[in-house]
Structure formats: C-alpha cells, structure tokens
Amino acid sequence: MYHSARFLFVYCWDDPWIAVVAEDLHKAARVLGCELYVLASGTSCTIDKNAYINADFFKANYFLSTFFKSLQYNQVDLHDLVDVECKLLEWDKARIHESKDEVRKKLEAWLAEAIIIMKIVQPDAAIIWNGMISKSAVYVAAARHLNIPVYHAEKGALPQSWYIDPKGINGQSSVASRNIGLDCERIEREAFQKILASIDSKGESAWDQPQRQNLQTIRQALLIKPSQKVIFFPGQVNTDTNILLFSKYFKNSQDALTWLVTELPNTDYFILAKPHPKGDLNIKDYEEIIAAKGRVLPEINVLDAIELADCVVSINSTIAFEATLRAKPVLLLGEGILSDQDYISKFVPREGASTQINACIERYAAHKTELHQRAISFATYLYNRYYTYRNDDIKTLRLIERLKDGIDAVGDKMLDQREIVAFFQEFPSAEIEKAFLRKATYKDIDRWFSGSLILKALWKKIKRRLLAD
C-alpha cells in the first residue's frame, strides 16, 4: 500500500525552458513527501532519473511498444483532435503529405501509450503542458478517460512566469473572465507597479529580448513622420494554440498583417512589425506584406516597440497584455485572456482597420486612467495569485501543496517507485553488444539479465492488472 500523493507532469517533447519547471516541481514534491514523475523526451530534463520517464525509450521497450500497438480505445472521441492535428500539417513541411487516416492512427497510438502509462504510474493528478493540441491533448483525453484530475500548464505573460489551470489555457483558462482580479488592494497594485518598473528597466519580456534603445533614435532611423500613427504588430507562432484554437477570423500572422496593411493608408499610419523569435516566418515574409507601409524590425525590444506605438494590434500575443500594462490602446483580433476585459478593443468583422484603430485610440484616450488601472489590477492578480515562477521554490512549493490538498490520494497503487523506475529504464541492445566486444564483466551480465527478468516479472504483474481493468 502506497499512500503518498503521486503526480505526473507531462510535456511530451524536449524543452529546456520547461525542464527548469520540471526540476522545480520535483524538488517541491520531495519536500512535501509526494511522488512526482516527469514524462518528456530528449536530454534537457535533468531531474533524478528515478522520476524521469523518457518517452524516447518507449520504442526500445519491447513490452510497451508491442502492447501499445494491440490496444484500441474507441470510446475516447479523438475527432476534434484529429482536425486540429491536420491544421498543424499545413506548417510542417516534413509531414505535409500525411493523410487524415494516418493522423488518426497516430493519435490512436498516442492514446494507447498515454492510457497505459497512466495506468502503470497511477497518478492522483496529471499536470500537462498546454494540453490543447497534438500529443499533449491526447494525454489530457487519456487522463479524463481514467477519471484522473487534469491541470493544464503554460507559460505566463510576465518574465519567467508559468501557471496551471483546471479548465485550459489562454482564452479557455479560468482567468479569462471580465471580473477576475479587479478587487486587488491599492497596496498590492503599487507593489506590482514597482516590480513592473524593474522589468522595464531591465528590458525583460516573456521571451528573451535584445537591449533597449533610445526611442528618438529608433524613430529617426525608421523615418516615421510626426503626423503618422505608429501601429505595432507582433508576430506569433502559427502552430501555436493561440492561432489554431483562438483565432476565429485570421488563420495565421500573415493573414492578420495582410488585413492591416491592405486597410491602412501609408500616409496616416506607420506599421512596425516584429516576427516572433520562435515563429514560422522569416523577415522577408513580413517585408513582402508590409512593403512601403512600414518596417520589419526583428531586433527591436518589444518594450521599445510598445512605447513607440500609438496602438498595438495583435491576434492574441502576450505582447497585447504587456502593452496594456504600459497604458497603450490594444486592438485584439482573436480570443485570449484579455478578450472579456473592457480595457481592450475587440475586432469587428467587416469593419475597416482604420475605423477600428481610431476608435480604439480615441476611447482609450478618453478613459486612460480608469482603463489602465483595471489592466494593472488584473496583472497584479496574475502576479500574486495565479502565476508561479521558474526557480521560485516558495511559489512552487505552495502550488504543489494546494494540489496535494485538493486531491484524494489513492492508496492502492499497483507499483511502487522502485518498480516504476525498473520498468521504464532502458536496456539498449547496442550498448550490450559493445560491452561484450570489450569483454563484459560478470557484474555487467548479471545486471543486464537481472534487469530483463525484473522487467518480465513486472510486466506480468502490470498486464494482469491492465487486463482486469
């Protein structure tokens, strides 16, 4: 009988930024006497090997790889996830020729993998990064099928921030509500504004940024006329959840930028675009769209671009959130955590860009103090009560403590930690062959064959339980 709370943190791929989050979570779980396993890929995850399940090893694990192929869970509806995965193919040149049937089969294989992994680990709760598209969404579907509580995790809009949410991320998160966070005390807001001032002085953003520059120097270099309104358009990653799921009117960044450029006369407006550092488009793609109506500046710090702008136009980039904190009018073209906030303007289909931008600027000018105050209140709420931060032991400890207090830990676990570790460890045949060529010792042979016997014994135990379920 194993009674400690057990968590599974899943992010399915190799990501150094998230790997730091995994380390923070694992450390906090150990302090609280909980078990936390991390399922990911690659080599960036550096936590204790006894808690790391490397998805890259599944193909080398005979028991898992063969069993995955034999299972089907037709009662789990993957229809919507298949459609979203097909949208992703439009941007992945290596997979562009995959048929819808091939996509479905891949998702079904992921589902079998996810369900079996969760049945083996038996987490009391699953924390899944993003969880809205592709493999991570399949893991969410598997957890819900097994009645395991799910928390979505994602990067926040403040430097080094991230969050978990039981509902989803971005426009589907718990905080995407008009009244959230507006009751913050004045002392809280003033404390946050001091933190914001420090962020500004360092030139920090949610993504790494170049050094800040003199604003007048930038304006002169760009040849912006005094009479022109500067419109800042931040690019986004076209395969990101924000575009695939929360952009009803524009299918990608260039689609939105084309609408903006086509609608605005170059005598009255100057469009400044900054491609996303992780985006699918290069500078030339943006330059071809903007032509003579502005400039593309990948090297500009987003805080400089925000300060330079008269209005920020974005599908739903975190830069829109950052702009509201600097008292800038924002026209949001998609859905996001700001969609229900009255201090931004929302896109109106079939209405011209210049009409919407001018209305956005005029409305904000007339109510600037009130609208900016509401933006600061919302951000204060996020900073203090919603976001966790990388390398922040206290915040992460409180997060795991809240999760632990909110779940009913199942006492009858099929495997203990030693057995889980033994089952998911890798015994690559190539390594064994090389060792024999260099004269393996009796200890090597004993370790390999003992390990193989342990795996077989564990698999018998697991298979009996899985088939019984």
The residue-averaged pLDDT of 381-389 equals 95
Domain boundary (360, 386, 412) is at 386
Q: For residues 195 and 340, state if they share a domain.
A: yes
Answer yes or no: is 167 within a domain.
no
Q: For residues 112 and 12, state if they share a domain.
A: yes
**Rounded Cα gap, residues 129 and 162, in angstroms:** 10
- DSSP 8-state class, residue 227: T
Residue 448: its pLDDT value, please? 47
Tell me: pLDDT of 2 over 50: no
Tell me: pLDDT of 107 over 90: yes
Q: Which residues contact 382 (CB under 8 A, 6 or more apart)?
A: 156, 157, 158, 161, 163, 175, 181
Tell me: pLDDT of 217 over 80: yes
The residue-averaged pLDDT of 260-269 equals 90
Q: For 34-48, 90-104, 120-134, 284-298, which range has the lowest pLDDT when averaged over its residues?
A: 90-104
Q: For residues 221 and 120, state if they share a domain.
A: no
Answer yes or no: is 170 within a domain.
no
Residue 1: its pLDDT value, please? 37
- The tens digit of pLDDT for each residue in 175-200 reads 987 777 778 889 999 999 999 999 99
Q: For residues 358 and 288, state if they share a domain.
A: yes
Q: For residues 400 and 442, state if they share a domain.
A: no
The residue-averaged pLDDT of 410-433 equals 70
**Rounded Cα gap, residues 123 and 127, in angstroms:** 10
Which domain range does residue 86 map to?
Answer: 6-156+390-426
Residue 404: C-alpha distances to residues 29, 38, 104, 119, 415 (Å): 9, 17, 35, 20, 20
Tell me: pLDDT of 412 over 90: no
The CATH number that applies at residue 359 is 3.40.50.12580
Q: For residues 467 and 328, state if they share a domain.
A: no
The residue-averaged pLDDT of 232-252 equals 93
Q: For 32-41, 100-109, 292-301, 424-433, which range has the lowest pLDDT when averaged over its residues?
A: 424-433
Higher-confidence residue: 148 or 458? 148
47: left (phi > 0), else alpha (psi -120 to 50), else beta?
Answer: beta
**Rounded Cα gap, residues 51 and 185, in angstroms:** 41
Tell me: pLDDT of 49 over 50: yes
The residue-averaged pLDDT of 16-29 equals 96
Please state the domain count of the chain: 3
Answer yes or no: is 66 within a domain.
yes
Q: For residues 255 and 338, state if they share a domain.
A: yes
Answer yes or no: is 173 within a domain.
no
Q: Are strands 125-129 and 6-10 parallel, antiparallel or unpaired?
A: parallel
Q: For residues 270 and 343, state if they share a domain.
A: yes
Answer yes or no: is 331 within a domain.
yes
Maximum mean pLDDT: which of 57-61, 69-73, 295-299? 295-299
Q: Could you tell me if 7 and 36 are in contact, meaning their C-beta atoms sit under 8 angstroms apart?
A: yes
Domain boundary (386, 418, 441) is at 386
Q: For residues 443 and 420, state if they share a domain.
A: no
Q: Could you tell me if 382 and 158 are in contact, meaning their C-beta atoms sit under 8 angstroms apart?
A: yes
The residue-averaged pLDDT of 218-238 equals 94
- The tens digit of pLDDT for each residue in 286-332 reads 999 999 999 999 999 999 999 999 999 999 999 999 999 999 999 99
Answer yes or no: is 399 within a domain.
yes
Q: For residues 421 and 435, state if they share a domain.
A: no
Residue 426: its pLDDT value, please? 57
* Number of neighbouring beta carbons within 10 Å of residue 283: 13
The residue-averaged pLDDT of 457-462 equals 69
Average pLDDT for the chain: 88
Q: Which residues contact 441 (CB under 8 A, 6 or more apart)?
A: none
Q: For residues 49 and 35, state if they share a domain.
A: yes
Tell me: pLDDT of 372 over 90: yes
What torsion, rounded to 10 degrees, do the Cα atoms 290, 294, 296, 299 define? -170
Q: For residues 400 and 378, state if they share a domain.
A: no
Answer yes or no: is 177 within a domain.
no
Answer yes or no: is 1 within a domain.
no
